[in-house]
């Protein structure tokens, strides 16, 4: 069994159930497990002795979209593609991912998947939960190949063809629930627990407005039968809230999911920023988790404040939603947007945000062996280089991490005891080749007439 020793000028350990920042300690990894955290330099087959590093538990990113956000990138900023200022979910993301998945070959879809996972790893994530159209199964192949811990969440739709018309009004078509459940089951049989246990599935009914009661109840029953997490989008646009109210007797999206039995501790709901205060009280009471992705909405002038959910007692973690995939930058945005919207400097503080994406996120997916640096834990680590000029002089590494750091400061990423990123570079393949192939594949979607119409509408 090989051993790896990593020196940290700072190591985020735990003491009495809380964070404890150790100075000048070593983390010893044996195989896939953390064997020791010690002040004395241990004997090891491989030694990484770089002063100025902050060794963290591997960061968990529980909401990301590699494919759809690649389609939208650098097209939809500054309000572009928003008909009548509506959400790009219905003008760009859903229509073009449906068309693009059919257009591209398996190898081209694989190229896009590799590009996304490369960004996630270079952004410091060791674990990702990735919802995507089930016509892009190459996401699993890329995750297995590249070494990330992957919770694949292939979508299920009652209506997979939701798109906004010229007036911005969303029209819903199709009925794919039965077929999507069959596809999900097939992917589960093929992929769950692959990659030495790194590859898992989550149940992912797409959203409250694209999934009807029968499908949502079937998803919950199947997920609970298998013991897999459930993730969805909830209250991510005003149009969604209005649609659910009209369909289901004035219910909000949260009330709709509660009515169907999904608002529970095994549910992770992304965004939720158009939830009312009463909704948040209900969500807290039911013990579900909000996946807060502030930056993707900030570009549209919408504040999705981590602090609002947390102050209502809702368990909250931060995800990237695929936009930028810089998890440290996303945590910085969660801090700043919370402070601005609450007019308080002490909310969404640094230890709270780090805890959200380490120990709390690990507990959400029922993996107490993740999100912690302690003997016996799984060896998933994120190492940040704090020697950069913009991080010096340094007093508190946690505050520096949240307030000042970004993905360019990611030095090492380890998953299951395997070093995937070292000195900021992916070790197992040519980054430039991965990037070029992913760019070329997405370019084929951008060349479509319907893409030009969507981006310029």
CA–CA separation, 410 vs 125, rounded Å? 10
Q: Tell me the per-residue pLDDT of 143-163, one tens digit each, with 9 for 90 and over.
A: 999 999 999 999 999 986 777
Structural domains in the chain?
A: 3-57+379-426 (2.30.40.10), 59-364 (3.20.20.140)
Look up residue 205 and give its two tokens.
């009914």
Mean pLDDT, residues 132-139 taken together? 96
Look up residue 307 and give its two tokens.
């602090």
118 or 456: which carries more pLDDT confidence?
118
Mean pLDDT, residues 414-434 taken together? 98
CA–CA separation, 62 vs 71, rounded Å? 20
Report yes or no: 139 and 77 within 8 Å, Cβ to Cβ: no
Q: What are phi and psi of 135, to 5 degrees?
A: -85, 10
Mean pLDDT score of the chain? 95
CA–CA separation, 327 vs 353, rounded Å? 11
* Rounded-to-10 torsion of CA 233, 144, 115, 408: 90
Q: Using 50, 70 and 90 to split pLDDT, how confident is the model at 23?
A: very high
Q: Using 50, 70 and 90 to split pLDDT, how confident is the model at 168?
A: low
Of the CA atoms within 13 Å of residue 404, those in its CB half-sphere come to 17
Q: Tell me the per-residue pLDDT of 340-379, one tens digit each, with 9 for 90 and over.
A: 999 999 999 999 999 999 999 999 999 999 999 999 999 9
pLDDT above 80 (res 455):
yes
pLDDT of residue 63: 98
Of the CA atoms within 13 Å of residue 422, those in its CB half-sphere come to 12
- Adjacency order of strands within the sheet including 267-271: 230-234, 267-271, 289-292, 315-318
pLDDT of residue 80: 82
pLDDT above 80 (res 438):
yes
Question: How many Cβ atoms are within 10 Å of 42's Cβ, its own excluded?
Answer: 17
Q: Tell me the per-residue pLDDT of 70-83, one tens digit each, with 9 for 90 and over.
A: 999 988 888 887 76
Q: Tell me the CA distances in angstroms from 224 to 137, 203, 215, 230, 452, one per residue in order.
A: 23, 10, 14, 9, 42
pLDDT of residue 144: 98
Predicted TM-score of the model (pTM): 0.95
Q: Using 50, 70 and 90 to split pLDDT, how confident is the model at 233?
A: very high
């Amino acid at each position: 069994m090989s051993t790896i020793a990593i020196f940290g000028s700072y190591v985020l350990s735990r003491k009495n159930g809380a964070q404890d920042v150790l100075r000048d300690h070593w983390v010893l990894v044996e195989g896939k497990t953390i064997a020791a955290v010690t002040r004395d330099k241990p004997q090891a087959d491989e030694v990484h002795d770089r002063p100025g590093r902050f060794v963290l538990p591997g960061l968990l990113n529980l909401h990301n979209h590699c494919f759809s956000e690649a389609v939208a990138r650098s097209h939809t900023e500054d309000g572009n593609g928003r008909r009548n200022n509506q959400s790009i979910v219905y003008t760009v993301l859903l229509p073009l991912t449906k068309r693009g998945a059919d257009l591209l070959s398996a190898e081209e879809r694989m190229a896009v998947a590799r590009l996304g996972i490369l960004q996630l790893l270079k952004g410091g994530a060791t674990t990702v939960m990735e919802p995507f159209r089930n016509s892009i199964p190459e996401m699993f192949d890329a995750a297995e190949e590249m070494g990330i811990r992957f919770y694949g969440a292939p979508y299920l739709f009652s209506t997979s063809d939701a798109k906004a018309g010229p007036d911005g009004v969303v029209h819903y078509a199709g009925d794919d629930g039965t077929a999507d459940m069959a596809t999900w089951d097939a992917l589960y049989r093929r992929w769950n627990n692959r990659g030495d246990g790194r590859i898992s599935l989550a149940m992912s009914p797409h959203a409250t407005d694209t999934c009807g009661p029968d499908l949502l109840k079937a998803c919950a029953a199947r997920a609970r039968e298998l013991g897999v997490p459930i993730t969805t989008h909830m209250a991510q646009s005003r149009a969604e809230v209005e649609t659910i109210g009209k369909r289901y007797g004035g219910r909000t999206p949260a009330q709709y999911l509660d009515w169907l039995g999904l608002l529970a501790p095994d549910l992770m709901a992304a965004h939720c920023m158009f939830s009312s205060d009463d909704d948040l009280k209900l969500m807290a009471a039911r013990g579900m988790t909000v996946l807060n992705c502030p930056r993707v909405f900030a570009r549209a002038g919408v504040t999705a404040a981590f602090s609002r959910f947390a102050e209502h007692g809702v368990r909250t973690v931060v995800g990237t939603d695929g936009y930028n995939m810089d998890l440290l930058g996303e945590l910085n945005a969660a801090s700043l947007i919370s402070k601005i919207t609450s007019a308080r400097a002490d909310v969404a503080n640094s230890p709270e945000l780090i805890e959200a994406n380490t120990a709390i996120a690990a507990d959400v997916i029922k993996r107490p062996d993740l999100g912690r640096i302690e003997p016996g834990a799984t060896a998933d680590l994120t190492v940040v280089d704090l020697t950069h000029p913009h991080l010096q002089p340094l007093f508190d590494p946690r505050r520096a991490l949240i307030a000042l750091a970004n993905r360019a400061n990611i030095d090492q990423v380890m998953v299951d005891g395997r070093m995937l990123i070292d000195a900021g570079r992916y070790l197992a393949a040519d980054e430039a080749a991965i990037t070029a192939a992913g760019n070329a594949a997405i370019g084929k979607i951008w060349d479509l007439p319907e893409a030009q119409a969507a981006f310029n509408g």
